Amino acid sequence: MKNVLTITLNPTVDKSSTVEGIKPEKKLRCSPPNYEPGGGGINVSRGLVRLGVPSVALFTSGGRTGELLEKLLEKENVNVLPVKVQGETRENFIVVDSSSNEQYRFGMPGEALSESEIANITEKINSLSPFPEYVVISGSLPPEMDAGVLQKLVHEIKRQGAKVIADTSGEALTKILDEGVFLLKPNIGELSRLAGKPHLDNETADDAAKQLINQGKAEVVIVSMGPQGAYLVTKDLNIHIPAPSVKKLSTVGAGDSMVAGMVSVLAKGGNAIEMARMGVACGSAATMNPGTGLFNKDDAEKLYSWLERMGSVK
C-alpha cells in the first residue's frame, strides 16, 4: 500500500441544520446542528478511510473551531497532522428548508496565513518520513495567499519523488500546472479555461485534456462530466467512463468522493482504467446521499462492479 498525504490549507467545519419555511425577518426555529469536517483534502482522507486506505491529512487548525475539526476527524479515524495557526478555522453554514427540500449554503472565507505559518506548513511537509508516494492538494486557498506558494510547494513535493494529484481551481490551479502534476481532475468548465477555449463539449474535451498532457502540465487528466461520467485521458488512452444511473439526492461532496476513489486505487497499485472507474463509482455514490455526506462504501463497490461489467461488454 502506497503512502498518501492530503493537504488542505483552508479547511472548515460544516455546520448544517433544517428549518421549515425560510422567510426573511422571521425568527426561524432550526433543528439541532450537525457538525462535519470539511475542505477538499480532508474530505479525500475521510473517503479513503471508508475504502480501507490509510492517509495522513495535513491541514491548518486555529481556535476553537480548529480544535473541533481535529476531534471530528479523530472520531472518523482519520490520521491528522494539524498545523497550528493564529486565525480561527472557518465554519460553513448549510440550511435545508424542509418544506421545499431546497439547500442554502453559506461559505465563509477563512483567515489569512502569515509568512511564518506558511513556512511552517512547508517545513512540516518536507520533514515527513517516509515521504508519501502520493500527495493530494485539494480545496480553496486562504484569503490573500499568493498562488505562487502552491507552485513552490508542488516543486518541493515532486523533488522528493512524490506524485501530485491536484483538485483546485482558478489561479491556484494555473500555478500548480506551471510546475506540472501527475493527475488533474478538472470539470468541463475548468478544462475550458485551462485550454483557453470559450466552450468545450463531449467531442472536444478529450482534445483539450490531451493538450495539457502534451504541454507537460499533467500525466493523467480525468475530466469530470457530472451525470455523463468522466473522460480518462493519458498519453496513450482516451476512454469515456459512463456514470451509473442513480437516484440523486445531493451533489455535495461528489467531487471529493471521486478523488478519494481514484487515489484508493492508485495506493493499491491499480491501473488507470480501474482508477477512473472507482472515481466515477464513488462520485456517483455520493450523490445518492442527502445533505453534505460523502459516499457509502457498499454503494460505491456495487457501482464499481456495474462499471466493470459494462467495460467488459464488447
56 Cα distance to chain centroid:
14
pLDDT for the residue numbered 202: 74
Catalytic annotation, pick one of 14, 167, 206, 256? 256
pLDDT for the residue numbered 314: 45
Residue 131 belongs to what H/E stretch?
A: none
Backbone angles phi, psi at 92, to 5 degrees: -100, 155
**Is residue 259 a contact partner of residue 181, using CB atoms and an 8 Å limit?**
no
Task: Please tell me whether the overall predicted TM-score, pTM, comes out greater than 0.85 for this model.
Answer: yes
Across the beta sheet with 238-241, what order do the strands follow?
79-84, 56-61, 4-8, 134-138, 163-167, 181-184, 218-224, 230-233, 238-241
- Nearest partner of 258 among 10, 89, 47, judged by Cα: 47
The CB density around residue 151, as the number of other CB atoms within 10 Å, is 16
DSSP state of 10: S
Write a three-state SS string for 77-92.
CCEEEEEECCCCCEEE
Q: Could you please report the per-residue DSSP string of 222-269?
A: EEE-GGG-EEEE-SS-EEEEPPP----S--TTHHHHHHHHHHHHHHTT
Cross-strand bridge partners of residue 94: 16, 105
**CATH, range 4-21+30-312:** 3.40.1190.20
pLDDT for the residue numbered 103: 85
Distance CA 237, CA 240 (A): 10
309 Cα distance to chain centroid:
27
Distance CA 217, CA 278 (A): 23
Active-site annotation holds for 206: no
Per-residue pLDDT of the chain (314 residues; tens, 9 = 90+): 899 999 999 999 999 999 999 999 989 999 999 999 999 999 999 999 999 999 999 999 999 999 999 999 999 999 999 999 999 999 999 998 999 988 898 999 999 999 999 999 999 999 999 999 999 999 999 999 999 999 999 999 999 999 999 999 889 999 999 999 999 999 888 999 998 888 887 778 888 999 999 999 999 999 998 888 999 999 999 999 999 988 887 778 899 999 999 999 999 999 999 999 999 999 999 999 876 679 999 999 999 999 998 875 44
What lies within 8 Å, CB to CB, of 271 at 6+ separation is: 265
pLDDT for the residue numbered 312: 57
